[in-house]
Structure 1
C-alpha cells in the first residue's frame, strides 16, 4: 500500500501543491485514466485490431470477405475462435461507402455488430425487435435474405427492400459461421458463404466484385496490443469513428491522454512510457477479471461448486444489469478473451443459439497446467441440437492453443470415442494418457497455462434446467 500512502500524503504548502506533488499527481491522473480507458475501450480495440490484422493480410473493402475454408487453426491469432465451423469475417466502412446492402446466404449463423461490439438494431416484426442476429437465429431463420446497413445519423430515403439495420458506428463487423457434417468435405459450407453479395445501396450493378480470400493456414495476427501501442490503435479508432453523445465523459478520459477526434496524438517520451506501463497494467487487470472477479458476480458460474464460468450471466448484449448499471466485470472479462456478441449468444432459448461454459481450473481449484494430465467426463445425451465441442486456448492471449495438433479441439463431427452408456471422456495432457486415443485427446504444453471452452450449439432444455451438467477437469496422477 506504500504507493497509495505516498499519494495520499502528497505535500501541500500554504494550501498549494509543491512542484513535486503536481508532477506526481498529474502523472497518476494520466496513469489512472489510461488504465480505465484501456479497459473501457476493449470491445472496440479488440475488433479494430481484428480489422487491421485482416486488412493488412487479405485486403480491405466491403467486397473482401476472408473465409477460413479449412477451418480456423492456431496460426490465426484471434481471441477464442471456434475451430469447428467455417468462418468468414468482414469489416464494412459505412462512412467511406455509405449504406451497404448485404445479401446474406441461406444456412449461416451470422452477426452484425457495430465497432463497440453491440448488436446492431434491426426491424421490429410482430412485436420483436431484431438485434444483430442474421441467418439461423435472425429474422430470415436461415433461409437467406437481404439486409441494409445504415450509418449513424442516416437521413436519406428509407430503403424499400430488405431488413433495415441501423449502426451506431461507422464500421460494422460482419461475421458468418457455416456448419458442416463431414470434416473431410467443407465445400458445402464454403459454397454457402461464397454466395454472399455486398454492395453500396442502389449500386449493385457497379459494385466491386466479391473477393473471398482463403485464410486457413495463413499466419495473421488479429490480437489487440498488451503494451503502449494500444493507445496508438485507440487513436486510429477514434479518428475513424463517429462521435456518440453517450461516450462524451469517457472521451474526456482520452482527452487527458492526448487522444481527441480531429487532433494529432503526439505524447511526450515520458508520457509514452507512462502509457506503456498503464497498458501493461490494464491488460493484466483484465485477466484478473476473467480468472478471479467474474466468478464472484451473480451467475458468474454456471453450476454450484463448479468452476465453469459464464461471461453472459446477465443475458444482456450490452452487459447492463437490472437496468441500473453496466456490469464492467462481465464486460471486461468477455472482451479481453472474445469477440462478437448477439442475442443468439446471450439469451436463453432452448435449441437456439449457443452457450459457452469455460473453465481455467481443475476439480481441486488449481489453475490448469500444461504439464499435467486431466480427464473431462461429459455425461450421455449432450444437450446440443447442432453440435458440441471442447477447445483449448492460451491463458494469456486467449487465442487457440498452438499445440501441434491440426486443431486444438474435439467436436461432434470428429466422432470421438464414445463410452457404452453414450457418455464421452475427453483427455488433456502433454502426452496421451493411457485411457485416451487420438480421437479424444488434446495435447497441452508444459509450462503454459490454458483454459477450456465447452461449446453447445442449440443448447437443449437439460442444459438450462441443469438436469445435465458436465464434469470438472479431473487430475490424472
Structure 2
C-alpha cells in the first residue's frame, strides 16, 4: 500500500427520515476528546470526500468530457495517456461513463445497452458502498430506498439508501481504434427522470451551473477544512445520506463531540491548542490507516491487493477511509481485483535502470466476459511516457506466446528489436498494477502468479531476455562453470532442451551472449 497521502473521519445517524435517538457518551479528558475526534474524522471522511468530488465533477453548465451536471451522463471519450494527471493510477482498459445522482426528488431511469463486451455500471451510495452492479441490458430505476411508488413491469428497481449516489460504467475496449464502437454503446445509454419516462415526452436535460470556488482538487479541498467546517459539513450530509443501522454504536460515541445527523458541531468541545492538535491528528492518521489496511491485504505471490470487504465495508470504518484515499469508487472483489507489486522476485524495488522479464505461465483466471491487464506506473502513480504510447499489456495485446502457451514480457526503458512483448517502464522507479475483472476466485487459488525476474544485458536484446528466463525456469541443479566455456560448446548446446525454448538462437547463441547474461563467475546453466 504505497503513498497514502492523507487522513479521515466522522458520523451519526438518521434512518427512513427519522433521526436516531442517540444517548451521547461523555468524554472525560483532553486525550479522550481528541481520540473521539479522530474516530469521527475517520468515520466521516469518505462521505465528505464523495460530496467534494460530486461538487467538483458537476461544476459545469453542460455535459462535457470529465464534467456533467447532476443526473446527466459524463461520457469519457479517450483513453488516459502519460499527460493525463486528473487521477492517479488511471485505467487504460476501459472508457468510463459516470453519473452523479441526486435522488432526493424522484427516481432516475437508466437504460443499460445491449452489448457483447464487458460493460458494467457500478452504483455506489454516499458512503462509498457498492449497492448494485448492472450488466444486463434493461431499464432500471435508480431509486432512494425511502421512495414509495409504482414502477412499470419492465423497470427494475435499484434501491440506494442515500440521496447522493454515484454510478461508474466501465466499457472495455481494444485500443484507440476501438473507440468508435464504445461511442456507439454510449449512444444507446439513456438517463431521464421517472416522471418524464412515464409521460413519454422528449427530455432535454436542464442546464447546470459553474462556480469558480467549486473548481478544485477534491482530496486537497477536504484536507484543507478546519474542524468546524468539516464536521458541520458531515453532519449536514448525514441528514440526506443517513448512516446504516449497523453504525448505531459508533454514533452513540460520536454524539459526545456533537457529530451526527441534525447535530451542530461546536468547537468548544475541542481542547488544548486546537490548530496544533488537529494538524498532529491528521499527520498521525496515515500510519494508523496503513496498518489497518494490512489486515485486509491479500497476497498473490509477490503481488498484493485489497481484499474483502472492499467496496461494501460494513463497520470497517478505517478500511473504508483508507480505500477512499487510495481509490474512490473501488469495486468489490467479485467484480475486480487490483493486485500490485513494487518488487522483483528477489524482493528488490523495481527500477527502469534495470531490465526484467515478466513471465505469465498462464493468463489470469476470469469468468465469461472478464478481462485482465498489467499496467506500469511511475513512482508518482501516473502513466510512464514512451514513444509507443504503450502503458499496459493485456488479453487484447496480441502478445507472442511460447510453445507451452506462456508469455514473456520485457520490462525495460529501452526498446528490444521486437517490441511486440515489450512494456516500457521509463528510467526511474516503477510499479505494476494487475487488473482482473470478474475474476474466477476459485481458479485463482491454484493459478501460477506472474513472476518478475531481473536479467543482465542489453534490454534491446530480446533473445538475451528469453534465454535468461529459461535459465531461471529450468535450472534444477548447480550451474556448471565449464559447461559453456567456448563457442564450440555453446553451439553444441543447440541440440539440447535449451533450443526447444529458444528456437531462434542457433546462429546467435555465442559465448559473448552467455558472458553478458551471467557475470560474476556464473557463466553457464544446467538444463535437466
The TM-score normalised by the length of structure 1 is: 0.70
Change (3 A) 1:118 1:473: same
**Residue 209 in structure 1 maps to residue 205 in structure 2:** yes
2:42 aligns with: 39
2:405 aligns with: 422
The CA distance in 1 between the partners of 2:321 and 2:344, in whole Å, is 23
Q: 1:145 aligns with which of 138, 143, 154?
A: 138
Change (3 A) 1:245 1:88: closer
**Residue 340 in structure 1 maps to residue 319 in structure 2:** no
**Residue 236 in structure 1 maps to residue 233 in structure 2:** yes
**Residue 312 in structure 1 maps to residue 292 in structure 2:** no
Task: Say if 1:118 and 1:318, in contact at 8 Å, map to a contact too.
Answer: yes
1:200-239 Cα deviation digits (max 9, x unpaired): 2222336443999xxxxxx984546684538656653542
The CA distance in 1 between the partners of 2:452 and 2:225, in whole Å, is 37
1:116-169 Cα deviation digits (max 9, x unpaired): 22232xxxxxxxxxxx0101xxxx3xxx21111221422344555411111111
CA RMSD of aligned residues (A): 3.9
Deviates more, 1:101-110 or 1:437-446: 437-446
Change (3 A) 1:456 1:34: same
The CA distance in 1 between the partners of 2:221 and 2:288, in whole Å, is 14
The CA distance in 1 between the partners of 2:149 and 2:107, in whole Å, is 10
Q: Cα distance, 1:311 vs. partner?
A: 1.9
**Residue 50 in structure 1 maps to residue 53 in structure 2:** yes
How many matched pairs? 401
**Residue 104 in structure 1 maps to residue 121 in structure 2:** no
Q: 1:392 aligns with which of 359, 364, 376?
A: 376
Q: 1:471 aligns with which of 450, 454, 457?
A: 450
Deviates more, 1:40-49 or 1:182-191: 40-49
2:435 aligns with: 455
SS in 1 for 2:98: strand
1:281 aligns with: 284
Instruction: Please tell me whether Structure 1 or Structure 2 has the larger radius of gyration of its CA atoms.
Output: 2
TM alignment of 1:175-254, pairs within 5 A = 175-204=168-197, 205=201, 207-209=203-205, 221=217, 223=219, 227-229=223-225, 232=229, 235-240=232-237, 241-244=240-243, 246=245, 247-251=247-251
1:29 aligns with: 32
1:167-226 Cα deviation digits (max 9, x unpaired): 1111111111112235323111122123222222222336443999xxxxxx98454668
1:397-449 Cα deviation digits (max 9, x unpaired): xxx424224464222333345445433333445x2376883752232563x5x
The CA distance in 2 between the partners of 1:211 and 1:87, in whole Å, is 22
SS in 2 for 1:56: coil
Task: Say if 2:235 and 2:263, in contact at 8 Å, map to a contact too.
Answer: no
Task: Say if 2:140 and 2:158, in contact at 8 Å, map to a contact too.
Answer: yes
Task: Say if 1:35 and 1:281, in contact at 8 Å, map to a contact too.
Answer: no
The CA distance in 2 between the partners of 1:84 and 1:100, in whole Å, is 28
1:86 aligns with: 95
Unaligned runs of 5+ in 2: 1-26, 61-65, 209-214, 457-528
**Residue 167 in structure 1 maps to residue 178 in structure 2:** no
Task: Say if 1:72 and 1:87, in contact at 8 Å, map to a contact too.
Answer: no
Task: Say if 2:69 and 2:207, in contact at 8 Å, map to a contact too.
Answer: no
1:363 aligns with: 345
**Residue 66 in structure 1 maps to residue 61 in structure 2:** no
Task: Say if 2:379 and 2:431, in contact at 8 Å, map to a contact too.
Answer: yes
The CA distance in 2 between the partners of 1:178 and 1:25, in whole Å, is 53
SS in 2 for 1:309: strand
Deviates more, 1:188-197 or 1:363-372: 363-372
The CA distance in 1 between the partners of 2:431 and 2:226, in whole Å, is 24
Change (3 A) 1:327 1:172: closer
1:12 aligns with: none
Deviates more, 1:408-417 or 1:246-255: 246-255
SS in 2 for 1:174: strand
The CA distance in 2 between the partners of 1:476 and 1:31, in whole Å, is 52
